Structures are given as C-alpha cells and as structure tokens.
Amino acid sequence: MKLSGADIIVESLIEQGVDTVFGYPGGWILHVYDSLYRYSDKINHILVAHEQGAAHAADGYSRASGKVGVCLATAGPGATNLVTGIATAYMDSIPMVAITCNVNRGMLGKDSFQEIDIVGVTSPITKHNFIVKRPEDIAPTIRRAFEIANSGRKGPVLVDITKDATGEEAEFESLVGAASCRPSAKDLLSDAKDLSSAGGKMPPLQTSSTFTDKDIYTAVGMIESSEKPLIFIGGGVISSDAGEQLAELQKLVDAPVTHSLMGIGGFDRTNEMSTGMLGMHGSKVSSLAIKNCDLLIAIGTRFSDRVTCNTSIFAKNTKILHIDIDRAEINKNICVDEFILGDVKDVLTALNKKLKPAKHDTWTSSIKEWKLQYPTAIQSDHFTAQEIIRTIGDTVDRDNTVICTDVGQHQMWTAQNYPFTTPRTFVSSGGLGTMGFGLGAAIGAKISCPDKTVINITGDGCFHMNMNEISTAVTYKIPVIDIIINNNVLGMVRQWQRMFYDKRFSNTTLDKKTNYDMVAQGLGAVGVTVRNQAEFKAALETAMKQTDTPTVINCVVDPDLTVFPMVPPGADVEDPIME
Amino acid sequence: MEEIRRRVISILVANNAGVLNKVAGLFARRAYNIDSLSVGETENPDTSRMTIVVHADDLTLEQIKNQLAKLIDVIEITVLRTAAAVLREHVLVHVETDGHRADIMFVVDTFRGNVVDISQNALIAELTGSPSKISAFIKNLKPFGIKSLVRTGVTGLQRGDTM
C-alpha cells in the first residue's frame, strides 16, 4: 500500500516491535510527529525536556531490557543534542536507533535553517549511519539500522531522513507476520550480490560467532592446565545474556570471578568466589587475584584503561585467554596468548560442554582469606555514601530493582558496595563517563521494566546537569527514585586535586544554594532532604510505595569522602592505594 | 616491536554516500598514518576500490584490518603482497625548461614518460610506474626547477588469480 514516508517510519518501527520512542518535535520532523499523532494507539511517544534526555532514555531502555532503544529528534540542534547520548551508547556497545530529520533534499548543502550534517557529526560515534533522501528507501534502511544495531558487537545507528522524503509517498508492505522482520545472515549474503537493492547497497554483516572446535579445545587445554585461574568479565556477558553460562563456567573451573564496571551483574556479587571489581577503583582482592593467578580468562571485555591501568605491566605474570565478539578488540590494548571469537553465550555454551569439573582448593581458599582480610568497605556509623548504598541494597528487592548512576564518586561507591546479583540491574555510563546520564536512563529503564523499582544514584554535580528530566517523569507518572549523594563538591575531580594537585580545589567546590526539595516539588515530584540513616531508610521506603510520582531524596553527606581503593595514573593495578 | 614498513591495503567498498569520509575518518581517529589513498569505481558501478598506503608494524596492520572490517560499507580487505602485486602511480610534473629542454626531454625519454604540454619556458611531463620509479623521476627533474607536481597515490592489484 502507498504511505507517506513519515507513516513508513512509524510502520517500520512498529514492525520492529518498538513500543516506545523518546523524542522532541521540531519543524523538520513535523510529518513524523503528525504520523505519531495518528498512530498513538500503536506506539507510545515520551516527550522529554531536552533531546539529550531522549538519547539517554533510549539507552537506559535498552540496557535494562536488552531491546533496541529508539530516539527521535529534528534537524540541527535537535540532532546535535542527541550526540552525547549516542556517544555514550557507542562506548558501551548499547543497541540504539536514532532517527533525525533534515532539511529538504534541494536545501542540503546550502546552510539552510537548522541544517547540520549529522551523518558527518555522528560518523565516529555510531556503528553505522545513513542519510535517506527518497521515501522508498526509508523502510529498508530502518530494517537495516535495527539489524546493524542489534547484531555482532551492538551499538547505536543513526538514520537521517530529509523532510521531503517523509512527506512523499512510497509503497510499503509490513513484514509483521512474515517469516522474520530481520533478514537472516544468509539473506544478507545473497543480497550482497544485488548491491543495488533499495535503501543503499548492503554488504553482508559479519556473522557473530566464527569460532571453531579447535579454538574450544585450545581453550579447554589452557584452562585444564591452570592451577590458579581467574575469570574476568565485562559488558559482553550482559549484552549476550550469558549470566547462566558464566555461572556454570565458574562452577566447572572452580575459579574466582572479577569484573569491570560494565560487567556488573554478570556474576552474583554475593557469591563467595566474587572478588569484586577490577581496575582503578577495584577491590584489593581483585588486585591480589590478578597478581597471583596463572591464567586470566577475560570474557566480553575490551581491557579498558580504567581496568588495566598501566598496560605495559598489566597481568604480566599470567597467561591470558580472551573471549570476545569483536576481532578488533583482540591484541588492541593487551596482547593475549589465545583468543576465541564469538558471542559470549555461544562460546561459553560450547566451552562448558567440553570442560571437566576441576577443583582448586588452595587457590580458592587464598581468595576467601583475602576477602576476610580486605573487606569491601569499612562499616561506619556515619551517614556516608557507602552506608547509603548498603541501605539501598538491604531495603529493595534486588532482583527486581534497576540501579542507574551518573558519573563520579557516587558511581564508584555504587559499583563497589551495592550487592548486584543479576544482569541488567546496573545501568551506568562506563566508557564515556557521561555526567547527567542517570536520570534519563532511569526513565527509559522504568518504561522498559515497569514492574521493577528503578533508582538513580547521582551526585549534586550530575543532578544539576539534567535535572530537567524530572519534569518528564512527572508528566508521564514514572515513579523513578533519584537519590542525590550531596557532598556539595565535584567529589571525584576534587579527590584528584587533593591527591595530585596539592589540594588546589579549582572549581570543584560547588557551594550551590539549590533547595533540592523545592526544585523537585516545583517540577511536580516529591522532594525530601535526609541527614541520617533512619531518615534515609524511611524516605526510601516511602518513595518505593509511590506508583505515579517520582521522588528526589537529597542525602547531605561529608564533602571530603574519598573513593578507595584507587590505582593512581600510571601505577600497577596490582598495587592500589587503600586509604 | 616488529618493523614499521610500507603496507598497501586494497579495500572494496559499497559505493554509498560518505564511504570515503567513513574510511578516512577511521584512519584519522585511530591515528593510523596514511601515505596515500586513491579511490575509483570498479567493474561494478555499485562498488569502489580504495588503495591505501600506510606505514605500520604487523600489530598495527592487524588492527587496521580489523577496524576496517567493522565498517558496514567495507566489503573486502586485501593486504597486497607487494612482491606479487602490480603497483602503479601516475605523476604530472610542471618543469621549467629555461634552455634545458633537450636535457629534460632526455630524462623523460629515459624513464619512458611523455611530454603532454609544452610552452615557451616550461613543459608538463607525465609518467606511470611503480612508486619508486616515480620518486626517481621527480628526483631527476628537480635540478631543472619543478614549478608544481601532482602524484595520484598508489593503485594496485594482486597478480594472477590471487585477488
């Protein structure tokens, strides 16, 4: 049937199973918003306060559920406001499709009102991007965008469509009910011969798992000859939903498990074989484990500099087996002894079938001893961030709670102290370190997981970046809980100034006069300030009972709290500063 | 560390808008140094072939290949084995004659180049050949006074049935 380009966009999203999009209208995307009006019974649109919030919401929606998040924006500033959110998703390999509209075909290249080459701008921060100038190319391009975003190593894809293409008509046939809405790898291979198909030329995507039996046998040999194996997991375990296979591998190998920030939730932190996080703010036990292990099994990780610290001496005494879906991550930051290329779930399933159960009692009892010797954090009677985070962990139903964070000290305290047990319960900007990420992400997470409690742990610095999205949560009756660890300073930067800049606290003392309760209330949310554990616990319990109103809990804490352990820049990850 | 040397990478790409930008942008942001890049359509108008010359060690070359493979528009990547490849470059040199026209013609003839334009005090010579031959040609013309020159950058194909 003939439809307008705008209707084709919405039909194509429905075809992909999209129930919610996050966005903001504008002149160049008017046709699409007109379609959304008419399709409002089939697709939900969340109007954010700022396009950055839309991108973070689409990202949080994806991280919490595994589905592809979608955001929409108009040309020019609408599109550029998405950029930080797209880059955040790119650095953490989160599947997202961003749709922007541009000026009419004939106006391209003439510096027309709000014209921006958003394809040029987002080339380095998308897995792929497209500009579409004909209505008949819209549907195949959107199908392709979803396929790219959600296959192999996942990531954001941007589709920029000229306004005239959204107004003109083309034939559209929904693939809903057809064998598959997504072309199979085989179809794509045959498509490759017909490169001139509509929507641009489409070479085949790389297949996800290319490993062989030989790779598995090599890995089995390495693992079975190890006496002190250490499993190190990253975001790949979450992204391929391989939590179960990882738990099985851990039992078979009888090894301790450490994780990166992105790997949080991939292995139960309350398990006695979890050593906690590895890296700049990792645990002492993880440092000792990496120092003493004889085999590092690195799974779904890219060896970020926040993990490896000094790459030239990282894990220098140990063999490394690297399992990852992206060939370009092999030997990029750290040279490894062996690798297996493939989707983590596929690789671990194959590996677990071939591994004989092992026992490493001496090694695992050393881990247990270290854990007693170096507990995660010292208990305190004061109202510290660590105690707040522990209280959250003790109060909520952890399997049904998603914890989002912003970036800085509160993020590291959360990563260190909250007892994460299941995948997709931690939503945080790891690679890009985006302050202001958390609230938008929490809104997205709550929409994709309406039955879960969603908490955003933030700082007073981050709160001021994107607090406008409280109004979005209020409008749509989304009861997210925003917990501000308010130390009145930009704590993480200030910590570096204290340690490395002789306490010259340049521009990190915020000294804001913000009345957080009034800000929250002014935007229509509940706002409450707390100064001790009892008040905090009561406020949290009340907030959890809210069914349609967001709550902002302002926790006033000491400005001079510090995140330890810490590996200073250039130092060995095996040797963190403890206090 | 392996030896850093010249590598010739030949890639087949889908002829989509912005593909050159995507490839060049990848090299720029990953800090891989491009010596030259040439691009043109192939026998199939839907695809183009880019020949990229880089200086890299084995590890970096591996990274370049892996990163290129992730670009959706890149269809095929070949690192040319230079011993078994045909590599060609084209040059146009605008050189001052200034009473040395015969000497210059001798150089051009020796390299089996052509004179494609001539004026009172200058001429334009062209030459196609391996990059080292092109360099030697330029070196020999330099003493006469080169007004301007342009090299196309290397294009190449693997010999025989190996492509």
B63 lies within 8 A of chain A by CB? yes
Residue A51: active-site member: yes
For the segment A193-204, the average pLDDT, to the nearest whole number, is: 45
CB A444 within 8 A of CB A476: no
**CATH topology for the A2-191 domain:** Rossmann fold (3.40.50)
Question: What is the predicted pLDDT for the residue at A195?
Answer: 38
pLDDT in tens, A32-73: 999 999 999 999 999 999 999 999 999 999 999 999 999 999
Cα-atom radius of gyration of chain A, to the nearest Å?
Answer: 24
How far, in Å, are A69, A283, A328, A376 from residue A379 at the CA level? 39, 16, 43, 9
Q: How far is A206 from chain B (nearest CA, A)?
A: 8
Q: Are residues B65 and B25 in the same domain?
A: yes
Question: What is the predicted pLDDT for the residue at A454?
Answer: 98
Q: Are residues B73 and B89 in the same domain?
A: no
Instruction: Give the predicted TM-score (pTM) of the model.
Output: 0.94
**Chain B partners of A123 at a C-beta cutoff of 8 Å?**
18, 21-22, 25
A213-373 domain in CATH 3.40.50.1980?
no
Residue A250: active-site member: no
Select the more confidently predicted residue: A435 or A382: A435
Given B79, B96, B121, the domain boundary residue is B79
Domain ranges for chain A: 2-191, 213-373, 385-556
Q: Using DSSP, how many helices (H) and how many strands (E) does chain B show?
A: 4, 9
Structural domain containing residue B46: 5-79
Asked whether the bond before A565 is cis by omega within 30 degrees of 0, the reply is yes
For residue A411, the SS3 value is helix
Alpha carbon distance B163, B61 (integer Å)? 19
**Chain B partners of A332 at a C-beta cutoff of 8 Å?**
63
For residue A119, the SS3 value is helix
Q: Are residues B95 and B40 in the same domain?
A: no
B66 lies within 8 A of chain A by CB? yes
Q: What is the 3-state secondary structure (H, E, C) of B50-113?
A: EEEEEEECHHHHHHHHHHHHHCCCEEEEEECCHHHEEEEEEEEEEEECCCCHHHHHHHHHHCCC
Question: What is the predicted pLDDT for the residue at A204?
Answer: 61
**Chain B partners of A200 at a C-beta cutoff of 8 Å?**
14, 16
**Chain A partners of B70 at a C-beta cutoff of 8 Å?**
127, 153, 206, 326, 328
Contact B73 A192 (CB under 8 A): no
pLDDT in tens, A122-158: 999 999 999 999 999 999 999 999 999 999 999 999 9
User: At B45, which CATH number?
Assistant: 3.30.70.260
Contact B67 A328 (CB under 8 A): yes
Q: Are strands B5-14 and B74-79 parallel, antiparallel or unpaired?
A: antiparallel
Contact B66 A327 (CB under 8 A): yes
Q: Do domains A2-191 and A213-373 have the same CATH topology?
A: yes
Given B79, B114, B135, the domain boundary residue is B79
Dmax (CA) for chain B in angstroms is: 56
Question: What is the predicted pLDDT for the residue at A578?
Answer: 84
Residue A381 has pLDDT above 80, yes or no: no
B41 lies within 8 A of chain A by CB? no
Residues of A contacting chain B (CB within 8 angstroms) = 119-120, 123-124, 127-128, 131, 148, 153, 192, 195-196, 200-203, 205-206, 326-328, 330-332, 335
Residue A189 has pLDDT above 70, yes or no: no
For the segment A71-76, the average pLDDT, to the nearest whole number, is: 98
Question: What is the predicted pLDDT for the residue at B54?
Answer: 95
Q: Is residue B15 part of a domain?
A: yes
Residue A113: active-site member: yes
Q: Is residue B134 part of a domain?
A: yes
pLDDT in tens, A269-319: 999 999 999 999 999 999 999 999 999 999 999 999 999 999 888 998 899
Active-site entry in A127, A163, A228, A446:
A163
Q: Are residues B94 and B141 in the same domain?
A: yes
Given B79, B99, B128, the domain boundary residue is B79
Contact A203 B14 (CB under 8 A): yes
CB A545 within 8 A of CB A535: no
Question: What is the predicted pLDDT for the residue at A178?
Answer: 62
Contact B72 A205 (CB under 8 A): yes
Residue A120 tokens read as 């040029």
Q: Is residue B163 part of a domain?
A: no
Q: Are residues B75 and B10 in the same domain?
A: yes
Q: Is residue B149 part of a domain?
A: yes
Q: Are residues B113 and B64 in the same domain?
A: no
Q: Answer yes or no: is the ipTM higher than 0.85.
A: yes
Q: Is residue B43 part of a domain?
A: yes
Who's near A390: CB < 8 A, 6+ residues apart?
A377, A417, A418
**Residue A513 half-sphere exposure toward CB, CA atoms < 13 A:** 0
Alpha carbon distance A238, B148 (integer Å)? 58
Alpha carbon distance A206, A188 (integer Å)? 10
**Chain A partners of B18 at a C-beta cutoff of 8 Å?**
119-120, 123, 131
Residue A190 has pLDDT above 90, yes or no: no
Q: Are residues B67 and B112 in the same domain?
A: no
Helix axes of A409-417 and A491-500: crossing angle, nearest 10 degrees:
100
Of B14, B17, B70, the CB nearest to A131: B17
pLDDT in tens, A80-127: 999 999 999 999 999 999 999 999 999 999 999 999 999 999 999 999
Helices (H), A172-256: 185-191, 213-224, 235-239, 243-253
**Chain A partners of B21 at a C-beta cutoff of 8 Å?**
120, 123
Q: Are residues B23 and B55 in the same domain?
A: yes
Question: What is the predicted pLDDT for the residue at A505?
Answer: 95
**Chain B partners of A331 at a C-beta cutoff of 8 Å?**
59, 62-63
Q: Is residue B57 part of a domain?
A: yes
User: At B128, which CATH number?
Assistant: 3.30.70.1150
CATH code matching the domain that covers A385-556, chosen among 3.40.250.10, 3.30.590.20, 3.40.50.1010, 3.40.50.970? 3.40.50.970
* Closest by CA position to A206, among listed A141, A259, A153: A153
Total number of domains constituting chain B: 2
Q: Are strands A156-162 and A20-23 parallel, antiparallel or unpaired?
A: unpaired
Alpha carbon distance A401, A40 (integer Å)? 29
Q: Are residues B89 and B151 in the same domain?
A: yes
Residue A228 tokens read as 């002190």
Q: Are residues B16 and B67 in the same domain?
A: yes
Of B15, B18, B46, the CB nearest to A119: B18
Handedness of CA A474, A475, A479, A483 (dihedral sign): negative
Active-site entry in A51, A115, A136, A387:
A51
Q: Is residue B151 part of a domain?
A: yes
Q: Are residues B71 and B90 in the same domain?
A: no
Q: Are residues B71 and B128 in the same domain?
A: no
Q: Is residue B14 part of a domain?
A: yes
Alpha carbon distance B139, A416 (integer Å)? 64
Residue A198 has pLDDT above 50, yes or no: no
Question: What is the predicted pLDDT for the residue at A185?
Answer: 42
Low-confidence ranges of chain B (pLDDT < 50): 163
Beta-carbon pairs below 8 A across chains A and B: 55
